[in-house]
Chain A
Amino acid sequence: MNNKDRKTPRPLSDDELHALVDDQLLPVDRPAFEKRLAQDPDAQARVAVWRQQKAALRDLHRAMLDVPVPDQMMVAAHRVATKQQDVNQWWRWGGMAAGVMLAFGVGWFSHTAWSGSGQRSASAAQTDFVRQAGFAYAVYAPEVKHPVEVTSAEQEHLAQWLSKRTGRPLKIPKLSSEGFELVGGRLLPGEQGARAQFMFQNAQGTRVTLYLGSLGASVKGLDSRETAFSFNPDGPVPSFYWVDQGFGYAITGSVPRDQLMKLAESVYRQL
């Protein structure tokens, strides 16, 4: 290589070459990178060797991918799945849920599917629940200094604490795929014991809350059932809410209805 050709101030680093071989360069960086590579025969040679290596490793034991899974491993896999389902009991629909939720999607309005003496009190309890979710949102979401009691920095503690107080193992859902990050959470009083409120915020500063808690075993028909998503446009801010195994969930926020629906689906899937 003569001096005239040396336009690149910096030789290619090993890390960059690995990223090329493993196809992990950012697409924007690629053209400039190829240019530099074209001027660096040493780097080209290394890349060629590593590519060959990688191709060989990709082929190594490839036939094993088609070998049937041994029974013992199947049993263990079932056991893992069962363990998770045992605790997520209110989450019984398994893989079907996402599809079902979509079918229930935007434009569909609330009702509960069962009838009988429990109906009135059950729907009254739900209405109360979502109204309280709205109030809690209205009180705490505008808060600048103290929107939450425990911040996201102590996420693990937050989940443990609120799980203990609400009597359910709670997982804090991640809504980052919808652009919302956890701010934190707080404990609130409810008619049937403690309720929890998790607050999320997006880059624009818009806040949504997830409000949850027991609706009480006393409410007939709610203790063992799931209800579909319901949309509540009333109150200070709209909510999507649902009930699962006697536990109510409401996702509340001043965002467009379809966005709120997506957030609700995401929460539902994760809990």
Chain B
Amino acid sequence: MDHVRIIAQIPGLRRYARALTGNAWVADDLVQDTLERACSKWRLWAPDSDLRAWMFTLMHNQFANDVRRLARQRQSGVQVDLDDVPNELAAPDAGQDLSIDLQRCLLQLPEEQREVLLLASMEDMHYEDIARVTGTPVGTVMSRLSRARARLQLLLDAPPVATGQSMAMASTVTPLRRMK
């Protein structure tokens, strides 16, 4: 396969990862890990299939792994590397207030809803493709999308103080940290 075709996917993957993780460093680690994954999984790539969908599938799997690993580490009380702390504390990258707010609200959605919402909205991906990428039935994709849009709207409409409360409510959400 032509490397140009792979490189052409990278900006889109970086942006998606950025929105998914809410952190530029974590996002680039996720993209890098996805590319490494592509190196080892290339046998599963069918040349006539959609390269973009394949890359997003690899990223989905990588992301799911990272989230699981992080959850395990938290449970077993693994100490956080000091290097990670600034990233965790840092607010999302500077930008317009609106996009900061949107990013903040996005991060309060459960990962699986956030993924589906971003794939459908930001990436304009077909529902069937989202189902393939996330390895879930289309019906599940639709219900996640529905819940994600409803929830995101509630979060966006809520005044800032109230969002603090809803953040506490969303304690199951595991923010992804930089692993390296």
Residues on A facing B (Cβ under 8 Å): 14-15, 18-19, 22-24, 49-50, 53-54, 56-62, 64-67, 69-70, 72-74, 76-85, 94-95, 171, 173-174, 177, 266, 269-270
Contacts and interface: CB of A to CB of B under 8 A. Distances in A.
Closest CB pairs A-B (n = 9): A81-B3, A76-B35, A57-B121, A77-B6, A64-B15, A54-B121, A80-B38, A65-B11, A95-B2
Interface string B21-58: 00000001001100110110010011111000000000
Contacts of B117: 57
A269 B19 contact: no
Given A18-B120, A58-B124, A269-B48, 13 more contacts: A14-B146, A22-B124, A57-B118, A61-B18, A62-B15, A64-B15, A67-B14, A76-B36, A76-B38, A77-B10, A80-B1, A81-B3, A83-B39
Contact of B18 (A18, A57, A64, A66): A64
A248 B4 CA distance: 29
B3 A80 contact: yes
B103 A18 contact: no
Contacts, number: 122
Given A79-B39, A80-B3, A171 B46 contact: yes
A45 B119 CA distance: 23
A162 B174 CA distance: 46
Interface string B143-172: 001100100110010000000000000000
B10 A60 contact: no
Nearest to A81: B3
Contacts of B46: 171, 174, 270
Interface of B: 1-4, 6-7, 10-12, 14-15, 18-19, 28, 31-32, 35-36, 38-39, 42, 45-49, 95, 98-99, 102-103, 106, 117-118, 120-122, 124, 126-127, 142, 145-146, 149, 152-153, 156
A58 B18 contact: no
Contacts of A84: 1, 42, 45
B48 A174 contact: yes
B99 A65 contact: no
A19 B11 CA distance: 26
B126 A65 contact: no
A73 B98 contact: no
A174 B50 CA distance: 13
A138 to B, nearest CB: 29
Contacts of B2: 81, 94-95
B48 A61 contact: no
25 contacts: A18-B142, A18-B145, A23-B124, A50-B153, A53-B152, A57-B121, A58-B122, A59-B99, A60-B122, A61-B99, A64-B11, A64-B18, A65-B15, A66-B11, A67-B14, A69-B10, A73-B10, A73-B35, A79-B39, A80-B35, A81-B2, A82-B3, A84-B1, A84-B45, A171-B47
